[in-house]
Structure 1
Amino acid sequence: MTTGGALARLIRSTAARAAAGDAEVCELCAAPVAEEHPHLHDAEEERVRCVCGPCSVLFDRGGAGEGRYRLVPRRRVRLPAVGTDVLGVPVGLVFFVPRADGTVTAEGPSPAGAMRWEVDAAAWRRLAETCPPLAGVEPEVEALLVNTVHGADHHWIVPVDDCYRMVAVIRRHWRGLSGGGAVWPAVEQFFAGLTERS
């Protein structure tokens, strides 16, 4: 298991800006961005970049940026319970990211960041046969986000930046060894705030 470098960089940069009181800016043109703004996946640096609306339009086609940058989609789809136990990941709060090379990673948030495992790609394909929407998850930029902790039943296809926001919630609220009393209500509030959109 390793800590995801791209996720750690995103969380550190967001936390540093928040601590300094700096407004977020587009990482391409430096224009101010709204609190909710588009993101680009930077394949070369394996990170997510904040962008403004006008810059995001430049990357809404598949061939833009010579393949280095991909616009993170905005769709969210709530799924019925998905039998993710067949993927062999022993945690109840996890997100699965298909990769461009056909591999699939599972990332479970922790107070130190995201812990990453490689999932058996054949098991992912078998799961997608039982839940067809999973076959349409866009590599690198979308994920299956699952929360079954404390009896929760959340299964979502989300933009990968939603997963990073969820990890940031955990890091912000986690206290001590077990997480404390604030972290799980904050996670539930995060999932309650997800809404389907196409």
Structure 2
Amino acid sequence: MTAGALQRAIRRGGQRAGTVERCGMCAGPVSPEHRHVWDEQDGELRCVCTPCSLLFEREAAGGGRYQLVPVDGRRLTGPAADELGVPVGLVFFVKQRDGRVFGHYPGPLGVAGSEIDTGAWRAVEARSPALAGLKPRVEAFLVWTGPPRGGGQQWVVPVDDCYRLVALIRQHWTGMSGGSAVWRAIAEYFDDLGRRHGRPSGKD
């Protein structure tokens, strides 16, 4: 997933605020806790209703174009994210189908992105079965190191969790450094990941 694709999805989400969400496949209404599919052709996430999500549980149903975003995440304790040379303390990494990996850096205007050095990624991936098995496009390796609050957390999460984080930062950011409200919101976001996805899974 490129930064451009992520930015487009965030803009569409803002345009839909206050409106009834519709399934991107059948146009039926979707519940607040609906799932998403990645549209390879258009380079975007689509909301899907429950019947359509059940259809895409079968991988072949997507015909190579649509891929259902998973719902499970897990906290990691093994990967050494600092070896990837990222310049900030909050970043998520998404693998492409061709093996390239992009780092996405959330901020008040959305996300900035850059391609990660292939050798550095493979070195970290070689020591982490969880990263070696990262599903292209639909899962992300999410890292929060701080400052200013000092997170020290690393997760494999569904990529739509990262969309939610970017929207949260844009909503709460104030001033040059973000302000205390945004960092409280980020801490609450990671607390919520813990409630929904459980305890650390050990060395990965």
Residue 196 (structure 1) aligns with? 197
Within the alignment, does 1:22 sit opposite 2:19 as a pair? Answer: yes
Of 36, 39, 44, the residue aligned with 2:41 is: 44
Within the alignment, does 1:138 sit opposite 2:148 as a pair? Answer: no
Q: CA deviation digits over 1:109-160, x for unaligned, max 9?
A: 0111111010012221211222221111101110100111132111110001
Question: Residue 63 of structure 1: SS of its match in structure 2?
Answer: helix
Aligned residue runs from structure 1 range 107-122, under 5 A = 107-122=104-119
Q: Distance in 1 between matches of 2:137 and 2:162?
A: 12
Give how far 1:44 is off: 1.1
Residue 13 (structure 1) aligns with? 12
Q: Distance in 1 between matches of 2:107 and 2:11?
A: 15
Of 66, 82, 85, the residue aligned with 2:82 is: 85
Aligned residue runs from structure 1 range 38-187, under 5 A = 38-80=35-77, 82-149=79-146, 150-187=149-186
Paired residue type of 1:193: D
TM-score (norm 2): 0.90
Q: Distance in 2 between matches of 1:56 and 1:43?
A: 16
Q: Distance in 1 between matches of 2:33 and 2:78?
A: 28
* Aligned residues: CA RMSD: 1.4
Q: Distance in 1 between matches of 2:50 and 2:165?
A: 23
Q: CA deviation digits over 1:20-39, x for unaligned, max 9?
A: x2121111112111111110
